[in-house]
Chain A
Amino acid sequence: MFANKRTIIIGLDGVPYSLVKDLSARGIMPNMSRLIKDGIFRQMESSIPDISPVAWSSIITGNNPGEHGIYGFMDLVPGTYSLYFPNFTNLHGIPFWNYRNGRKSIIINVPSTYPAGQLNGILISGFVAPDLEKAVYPPSLVNELKRLNYHIDVDSEKGHQSMELFIDDLNRTLEARIETYRYLWDKEDWGLFMLVFTGTDRLEHFLWKAYEDNTHPYHNTFLKYFNTIDEAIGEIAWKTHPEDSLIILSDHGFERMKKTIYINYYLRKTGFLKLKKTPDTSYDDIDEETRAFALEPNRIYVNTATKYPRGSVKEKDKDVIIGDLTDAFNALEVEGEKVIKQVYRKEEIYTGPLLDRAPDLVLISNKGFDLKARLQAEMLTENTIFTGKHTQNDAFLVVKGSEGCYAPENPSVFDVFGILESLG
């Protein structure tokens, strides 16, 4: 074992295996191309749901949501219909950097690590982080980050106003993130360095179409962004020592979006969900007659009497309702195409002490259909401004470690923790 052996992890939020393969082959990501030849390159499965808070919480703890308790960007306070936004303090389980003794860990921009807590090292929280002051440990680093013009995330609202402004912000955010990693890389003596780029996901949400269509006005912008990311990867790889291990990974994949499908609207139309008022509705408007409702993006909850203030479904009837819901989702068709590929019951995909907080069903869609709960929806489908959507089965993993490092043939986000352990 080398005494100075270090581990470096680079995260590319939402970047699919297929895109890495494609852009590596086309010379747009030449550094990636070299790294995937030298190391292990695998397609990786994301969590269910395939969204950042769930996937990254699984990556950093090695736990499934039944153990770490993060099922989405939002959840209901147990025993109520009140929405809250789980954050790092709600995570059950210990992130891998807390297991490392001795040398410091530098953790930059891992989603769902807000507010920043104490660690032996430095942590800058990722999306969603409302307040930079609370997103940085130790707090003495805040002024330096401000000087570097560090922003936690791209302002995606700009994407709704002007693509030019959005791209400008995307580039500035990336630039400052790169400057920040450079500053911290040299400043500290560390054993673990983790840096996540999240602009990739934001770019893909708005401009996936620009990637696929080479006549799109932002086609080159899209490629240039990935080229810049690749340069940063190359720079980091160049700075590593021969005995260091390097992991590059994403938390989920992406694909072209055909249509957004609003689940709660479908539940209303099929009689499972009844709201006391529309529009301007909230989960507090769920009526007693409701049998099931959805939370973002694709989680289905049976309105059971034991769990909710106006829950009306008795435990003994729950299985029947779940069967009816499954039939209803399997029957959902839009423009002649089946929308739902798979309906999972919670016991099939989750295990652990927090299983009772899990959604009763989670849906996986067929290609191109983007499922959103959207309680306020007044229509079943919509073509939104977004042209890309997440995929569950097409994240990627690159491992370039010392001999004996381990990576399963078909890895999932839950395996990353074990791979890190094998690297020592």
Chain B
Amino acid sequence: MERLDELESKSIYIIREAYYYFKDIGALWSIGKDSTALLWLCRKAFFGRIPFPIIHIDTGYKFSQIYSFRDKYSNEWELNLRIVRNEEAIRKGIGPHNNDKLKCCGELKTNALKKLVTEGGYKAILLGIRRDEHGIRAKERYFSPRDLQFAWDYKNQPPELWDQYKSESEDGTHVRVHPLLHWTELDIWNYIKREDIPFIELYRAVDGKRHRSIGCYTCCEAIDSNAKDIDSIVAELQATKTQERTGRSQDKEDAYMMQKLRALGYM
């Protein structure tokens, strides 16, 4: 089988199994390339109509293009879109200008999701993370349980592979399902090209700069690039040695380091 077909069928299988087993599931859509590819796979898995909610965590600091892209395709693909915001934190003024990055992300992203999972009664959440994306993600599994405190106890993960995934989760916990875990950044772009999946314009180079990874505008920096179309993006990725999330300042280990060093006066 061709590589992309193989990746696709494995992902679709995981998505269907997750829905069959948990029923109360949702998929996170950051509007970035990975979660949009995930959405595309969900549509394929259920023949165009996704039978569960699609969740967008809105920090209020997303690029404006993200909002317009979200609204356009949410309509077109007839998604059951749920937008979550941590209103309480926003009212308290928590944000990138008043707080450090760890606090900001923790409140506006993690706690927003936490609230949604608890209140919405989700048993599993689909996420578009990939193993090659970031060091800490290399330990992720397709089915990754989170406890009541949202902590990821990665010593107590159910045994892989995932035909054994049916370990019962305790009440109040949810399972994160990662159907794209085996994909690479390059696979994603090749797949976007093959399937003609729409993607946000921020990935295309303008004036010698493009975004390789997107999130909040306050914490994303464009990389130097002249890649204006998918072919040149693919060519660029094949040649590059730098990491995908280079432009993302919120690398959790770095943020942790900064926080610890700052506490001792070294920043």
Contact = CB atoms under 8 A, between A and B. Distances in A.
Interface of A: 51, 73-74, 82, 84-85, 127-128, 130-131, 133, 142-143, 153, 155-157, 159-160, 202, 205, 260, 280, 284, 296-297, 370, 372, 374, 384, 386
10 contacts: A51-B266, A74-B261, A130-B253, A143-B155, A155-B263, A157-B259, A297-B266, A370-B265, A372-B265, A384-B265
B264 interface: yes
B87 interface: no
Closest 5 CB pairs of A and B: A156-B263, A130-B256, A157-B263, A130-B253, A85-B257
A157 B260 CA distance: 7
A374 B259 CA distance: 14
A73 B266 contact: yes
Contact of B261 (A128, A133, A159, A260): A128
Contact of A130 (B154, B155, B252): B252
Given A131-B136, A205-B265, A284-B221, 20 more contacts: A73-B261, A74-B261, A82-B246, A84-B254, A85-B253, A128-B256, A128-B260, A128-B261, A130-B253, A156-B260, A156-B263, A156-B264, A157-B259, A157-B260, A205-B264, A260-B265, A296-B261, A296-B266, A372-B266, A374-B267
Interface in B214-249: 221, 246
A136 to B, nearest CB: 11
Given A156-B264, A202-B264, A128 B155 contact: no
B265 A133 contact: no
B139 interface: yes
Nearest to B254: A85
A335 B259 CA distance: 32
A370 B261 CA distance: 15
Contact of A133 (B139, B221, B263): B139
Given A133-B139, A133-B154, A142-B155, A128 B263 contact: no
A370 B265 CA distance: 10
Contacts of B265: 205, 260, 370, 372, 384, 386
A131 B266 contact: no
Contacts of A74: 257, 261, 266
A133 B155 contact: yes
A82 B223 CA distance: 12
B263 A159 contact: yes
B74 to A, nearest CB: 33
Contacts of A130: 252-253, 256-257
Nearest to A142: B155
Contacts, number: 54
Contacts of A205: 264-265
Contacts of B221: 284
- The winner among B221, B246, B265 for most chain A CB atoms within 10 A is B265
Which of the listed residues A128, A153, A159 has the most CB atoms from chain B within 10 Å of its own CB?
A128
Interface residues of B, number: 20
A260 B155 CA distance: 43
A163 to B, nearest CB: 14
Nearest to A140: B155
Interface string B189-209: 000000000000000000000
A186 to B, nearest CB: 24
Contacts of B266: 51, 73-74, 296-297, 372
A82 B248 CA distance: 11
Interface string B130-171: 000000100100000000000000110000000000000000
B224 to A, nearest CB: 10
Contacts of B252: 130
A296 B155 contact: no
Q: Which of B221, B246, B267 has the most CB of A within 10 A?
A: B267
A326 to B, nearest CB: 24
Contacts of A143: 155
Contact of A153 (B136, B254, B260, B267): B260
A284 B220 CA distance: 13
Contacts of B154: 133
A84 B254 CA distance: 8
Most chain B CB atoms below 10 A, which of A74, A260, A297: A74
Contacts of A82: 246
B242 to A, nearest CB: 9
Contacts of B97: 280
B223 to A, nearest CB: 11
Contacts of B263: 155-157, 159-160
A265 B265 CA distance: 16
Interface in B30-66: none
Nearest to B253: A130
A73 B263 CA distance: 13
Nearest to B261: A73
Contacts of A372: 265-266
A130 B258 CA distance: 11
Nearest to A257: B265
A73 B267 CA distance: 10
A156 B257 CA distance: 12
Contacts of A73: 257, 261, 266
> A84, A131, A153, A374: which has the most chain B beta carbons within 10 Å?
A131
B155 A127 contact: no
B100 to A, nearest CB: 11
A74 B155 CA distance: 30
A79 B263 CA distance: 29
Contacts of A202: 264
B267 A296 contact: yes
Given A296-B267, A297-B266, A374-B267, A127 B260 contact: yes
Contacts of A156: 260, 263-264
A127 B97 CA distance: 28
A153 B154 CA distance: 21
Nearest to B249: A282
A156 B97 CA distance: 23
Nearest to A374: B267
Nearest to A84: B254
Contacts of B254: 84-85
A296 B257 CA distance: 14
Between A85, A159, A296, A372, the greatest number of chain B beta carbons within 10 A of the residue's beta carbon is seen for A85
